[in-house]
């Protein structure tokens, strides 16, 4: 337990250190990409939980991200002005669920409040996950992989084919998300630092929650399932229920990332749901080591930041594909498990205290 | 709907069905030999089509297609040798991710070689407006080329598997790998052959339908999903049942366009995949493997 507290504190310290370093280096604009990387990292750690602990592959995680983002975008750009006068509108208004904001033309429109929209968005992603999870998690191996891949392409086809969802252009004009006081999730330059802390605050919170989960009874059950499913089932673990719960949690986390990024960039496009995006999350998890939430966190932050900075140029997707392929070929347990002659592992073993003196 | 219109949809369905059928058969060939689902199966169709388009600029069409098929077969064999052959008892999860990685790498290579442009081979006979009147529907001669080639591929494969020593060895390998190896069958090389074969038929089909369906660097994933749908519908490992299933999916997809907006065409076929997986994972004609876990 203490080790985990230290890690969380270390993460928080690293977040602050990166902020200060960006300031000293005279590159405060790095924070914008780091903020975006934070939201994508939420998806990656959720997928890491699903793959590493429940042993389930998902090739459709970008779809959950997009479901979150699109739901938020639709609800917060709806024009409910005409409704406001009616009894339903008045009721919603009194409940604080309506939100007046300027649209692209500068006129004031009334839409669903971002908080309510976010709750609905995450709930919708979780519901969809539960809906497809019940039958899908009964599948195994390549059937499950193909089913999730199919689910992902279905979501893209719906997004691109629906005029109301902006078709190939996606949605724009999403208002900033008012958190408290002056702090909003939005693209304004003045809010850059605040946004950075909001995104990474969410990541720290997610790591704390997932850490609790993994070390609880649920986590032990999941590890037992991953180790030997039949044995776990015979010990009375409801394997199906735990797998489903993990999928739902991981989809909800992806949706939170989608909501955040959509408000930050004031819009979302169908590209966010693409197969390539799903594979990027997969690559990040593979590099970090499946089931290693902290490894996933580190690789996601680094790779996503570099990618958003445009470091890989036109080879952006290719880099992720090659990384995924090489890791799975040479070191399927993540880069930290790579051992040409065991050298790396021996080195790490020397740095780590002997087993037993510290929790996992 | 008039009869002619229905017929028009049927023709369109059969054309797309051709390519789904061939990709489905390709899945089965590799699956039978290895137990692997090769997620890069659709990429071979793309590679074949794109290579042929490039070669057709310098060579006569039949030669360009033949060469493109050979090149794609070599690529298929290379994929197996480079990424699969030397792995020691890989888990299913690992194999899935590796073949996905391969498919994306092939796709990115194609993107950098050929760009995002959509391409097509010229029509084999006539051009895009020439058509035969069949029962009031206008049918491009290319449709007949596609159907004919598909049937030819299936017949040739059947002969290969039934009548040649190599084909028999591959069937033996599919039924029991260790037993086949004990009888002196070079199982490893046969796996390479399975990859080359599935790549070759995919490439050939990709060439023949390209005048109608066009080809571009990104078509592989969609074809893989539909080819897999077809393979599962027919019963995974049930080699030739995929052909019938391929035409069925092509027809359903084409007819769905008359009921739903065309943009949702892919939703229909993927919905079908999910429905089959959830309701009838052994396919219409039965499969040796179960898609579902039992006790959970």
Residue A44 C-beta-side C-alpha neighbours within 13 Å: 33
Question: Which of B270, B279, B282 has the highest number of chain A CBs within 10 A, making it the mutation to test binding with A?
Answer: B270
Strand partners, A11: none
Top pLDDT among A145 and A342 is at A145
pLDDT value at A324 more than 80: yes
Cα–Cα distance, B16 to B262 (Å, whole number): 14
Q: What is the largest CA-CA distance in chain A?
A: 73
Cβ–Cβ of B97/A286 closer than 8 Å? yes
Residues B96, A275: C-beta atoms closer than 8 Å: no
Q: For residue A339, what pLDDT band results from cuts at 50, 70 and 90?
A: low
pLDDT class of A343 with cuts at 50, 70, 90: very low
Predicted local distance difference test score (pLDDT) of residue B68 = 97
Interface predicted TM-score (ipTM): 0.86
Q: Which of A145, A147, A329 sits opposite B83 (nearest CB)?
A: A329
Nearest CA in chain A to B296: A240
Label residue A356 by pLDDT band (50, 70, 90).
very low
What is d(CA A42, CA A284) in angstroms, rounded to the nearest whole number?
12
- pLDDT higher at A128 or A53: A128
Task: For residue A151, list chain B residues with Cβ-Cβ distance below 8 A.
Answer: 270, 274
Angle at B86 between CA B81 and CA B89, to 5 degrees: 130
B246 DSSP β-pair partners: none
Q: Which residues of B touch A150 (CB under 8 A)?
A: 225, 229, 270, 273-274
Say which DSSP state B291 is in: S
Residue of A138, A286, A315 lying closest to B293 (CB–CB): A138
Of A95-104, A167-176, B148-157, B196-205, the poorest mean pLDDT is in A95-104
Average pLDDT over residues B200-224: 92
Per-residue pLDDT, averaged over A73-87, amounts to: 81
Q: CB–CB of B295 and A233 under 8 A?
A: yes
pLDDT in tens, A291-307: 788 999 999 999 999 99
The pLDDT score that the predictor gives to residue B156 is: 93
Three-class SS of chain A: CHHHHHHHHHHHHHHHHHHHHHHHCCCCCHHHHHHHHHHHHHHHHHHHHHHHHCCCCCCCHHHHHHHHHHHHHHHHHCCCHHHHCCHHHHHHHHCCCEEEEECCCCCEEEEECHHHHHHHHHHHHHHHHHHHHHHHCCECHHHHHHHHHHHHHHHHHHHHHCHHHCHHHCEECCCCEEEECCEEECCCHHHHHHHHHHHHHHHHHHHHHHHHHHHCHHHHHHHHHHHCHHHHHHCCCCHHHHHHHHHHHHHHHHHHHHHHHHHHHCEECHHHHCHHHHHHHHHHHHHHCCCCHHHHHHHHHHHHHHHHCCCCHHHHHHHHHHHHHHHHHHCCCCHHHCCCCCHHHHHHHHHCCCCCCCCC
Residues in chain A: 360
Residues of chain A with C-beta less than 8 angstroms from the C-beta of B104: 276, 279, 317-318, 320-321, 324-325
Instruction: Count CB atoms within 10 A of the CB of residue B141.
Output: 16
Q: Is the pLDDT of residue B126 over 60?
A: yes
Output the CA–CA distances (angstroms, integers) from residue B275 to A67, A146, B13, B27, in the order listed.
21, 13, 20, 20
pLDDT tens digits along A55-76: 888 998 999 999 999 999 999 9
Is there a contact between A329 and B281 if contact means CB atoms under 8 Å apart?
A: no
Of A196-200, A337-341, B86-90, B129-133, which gets the smallest average pLDDT? Answer: A337-341
pLDDT digits (tens, 9 = 90+) for B40-71: 999 999 999 999 999 999 999 999 999 999 99
Distance from CA of A140 to the nearest CA of B (A): 6
At B90 the pLDDT is 82
B-chain residues within 8 Å CB-CB of A328? 94, 97-98, 101
Residue numbers in B near A233 (CB within 8 A): 295-296
**Residue A231 corresponds to which tokens in the numbers above?**
């044995």
Average pLDDT in the A112-134 region?
93
If you average pLDDT over residues A302-314, what whole number do you get? 90
State mean pLDDT over A220-227.
81
Q: Which residues of A touch B107 (CB under 8 A)?
A: 321
Choose among B142, B137, B104, B105: nearest CA to B123: B142
Nearest to B220 by CA among B15, B21, B47: B47
How far lies A221's CA from each of A1, A224, A226, A235, in Å?
18, 5, 9, 10
pLDDT tier at A269, thresholds 50, 70, 90? very high
Q: Looking at A102-116, A204-218, A291-305, B7-21, which range is the least confident one?
A: A102-116
Asked whether the predicted pLDDT for residue B105 surpasses 90, the reply is: yes
Among B264, B271, B295, select the one facing A161 at the smallest CB separation: B264
Per-residue buried b or exposed e for B87-116, using 16+ beta carbons within 10 Å of the residue's own CB? eeebebbebbbbbbbbbbbbbbbbbeebee
In angstroms, rounded to a whole number, what is the distance separating the alpha carbons of residues A248 and A289?
21
Task: Look up the pTM and report it.
Answer: 0.88
* DSSP one-letter code for B190: H
Q: Which residues of A touch B278 (CB under 8 A)?
A: 135-136, 138
Q: In degrees to the nearest 10, what's the CA dihedral of B56, B61, B64, B67?
A: 170
- Name the 3-class secondary structure at B132: strand
Å between B272 CA and nearest CA of chain A: 10
**Average pLDDT of the residues of chain A:** 85
pLDDT higher than threshold 60 for residue A341: no
CA atoms within 13 A on the CB side of B67: 15
Closest C-alpha among A51, A277, A143 to residue B274: A143
| Contacts A–B by Cβ distance under 8 A | 139
What b/e sequence results for A217-255 when a residue is b if at least 16 CB atoms lie within 10 Å of its CB, and e otherwise? Answer: ebbebbbbbbeebeebbeeebebbebbbbbbbbbbbbbb
């Amino acid at each position: 337990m203490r080790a985990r507290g230290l890690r969380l504190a270390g993460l928080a310290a690293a977040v602050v250190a990166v902020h200060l370093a960006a300031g000293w280096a005279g590159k405060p604009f790095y924070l914008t990409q780091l903020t975006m990387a934070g939201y994508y990292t939420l998806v990656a750690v959720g997928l890491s939980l699903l793959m590493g602990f429940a042993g389930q592959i998902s090739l459709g995680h970008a779809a959950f991200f997009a479901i979150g983002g699109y739901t938020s975008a639709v609800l917060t750009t709806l024009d409910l002005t005409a409704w406001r006068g009616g009894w339903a509108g008045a009721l919603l208004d009194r409940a604080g669920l309506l939100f007046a904001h300027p649209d692209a033309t500068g006129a004031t429109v009334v839409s669903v409040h971002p908080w309510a929209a976010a709750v609905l968005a995450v709930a919708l992603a979780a519901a969809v996950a539960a809906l497809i999870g019940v039958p899908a998690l009964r599948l195994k191996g390549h059937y499950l992989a193909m089913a999730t891949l199919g689910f992902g392409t279905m979501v893209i086809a719906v997004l691109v084919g629906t005029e109301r969802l902006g078709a190939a252009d996606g949605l724009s004009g999403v208002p900033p998300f008012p958190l408290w006081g002056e702090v909003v999730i939005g693209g304004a330059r003045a809010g850059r630092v605040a946004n950075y802390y909001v995104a990474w605050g969410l990541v720290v919170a997610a790591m704390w929650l997932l850490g609790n989960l993994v070390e609880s009874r649920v986590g032990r059950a999941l590890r037992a399932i991953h180790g030997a499913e039949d044995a776990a089932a015979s010990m009375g673990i409801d394997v199906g229920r735990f797998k489903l719960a993990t999928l739902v949690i991981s989809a909800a986390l992806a949706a939170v990332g989608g909501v955040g990024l959509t408000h930050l960039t004031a819009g979302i496009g169908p590209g966010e749901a693409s197969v390539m995006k799903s594979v990027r999350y997969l690559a990040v998890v593979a590099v970090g080591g499946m089931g290693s939430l902290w490894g996933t966190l580190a690789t996601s932050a680094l790779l996503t930041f570099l990618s958003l900075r445009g470091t890989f140029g036109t080879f952006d997707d290719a880099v992720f594909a090659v990384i995924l392929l090489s890791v799975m070929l040479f070191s399927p347990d993540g880069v930290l498990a790579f051992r040409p002659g065991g050298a790396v592992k021996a080195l790490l073993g020397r740095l780590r205290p002997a087993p037993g003196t510290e929790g996992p | 709907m008039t009869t002619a219109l229905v017929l028009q949809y049927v023709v369109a369905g059969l054309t797309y069905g051709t390519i789904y059928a061939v990709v489905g058969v390709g899945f089965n060939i590799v699956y039978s030999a290895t137990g692997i689902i090769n997620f890069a199966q659709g990429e071979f169709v793309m590679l074949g089509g794109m290579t042929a388009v490039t070669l057709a600029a310098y060579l006569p069409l039949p030669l360009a297609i033949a060469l493109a098929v050979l090149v794609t077969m070599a690529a298929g064999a290379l994929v197996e040798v480079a990424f699969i052959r030397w792995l020691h008892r890989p888990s299913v999860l690992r194999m899935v991710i590796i073949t996905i990685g391969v498919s994306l790498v092939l796709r990115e290579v194609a993107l950098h070689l050929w760009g995002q442009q959509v391409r097509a081979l010229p029509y084999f006979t006539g051009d895009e407006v020439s058509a035969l009147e069949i029962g009031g529907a206008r049918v491009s001669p290319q449709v007949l080329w596609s159907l004919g080639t598909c049937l030819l591929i299936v017949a040739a494969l059947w002969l290969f598997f039934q009548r040649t020593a190599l084909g028999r060895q591959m069937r033996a390998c599919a039924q029991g790998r260790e037993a086949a190896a004990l009888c002196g069958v070079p199982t490893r090389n046969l796996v390479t052959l399975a990859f080359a074969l599935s790549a070759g038929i995919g490439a050939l089909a990709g060439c023949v339908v390209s005048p109608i369906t066009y080809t571009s660097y990104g078509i592989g994933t969609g074809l893989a999903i539909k080819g897999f749908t077809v393979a599962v519908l027919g019963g995974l490992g049930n080699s030739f049942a995929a052909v019938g299933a391929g035409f069925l999916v092509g027809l359903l997809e084409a007819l769905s366009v008359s009921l739903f907006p065309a943009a949702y065409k892919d939703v229909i076929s993927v919905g079908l995949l999910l429905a089959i997986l959830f309701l009838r994972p052994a396919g219409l004609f039965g499969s040796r493997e179960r898609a579902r876990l039992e006790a959970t």
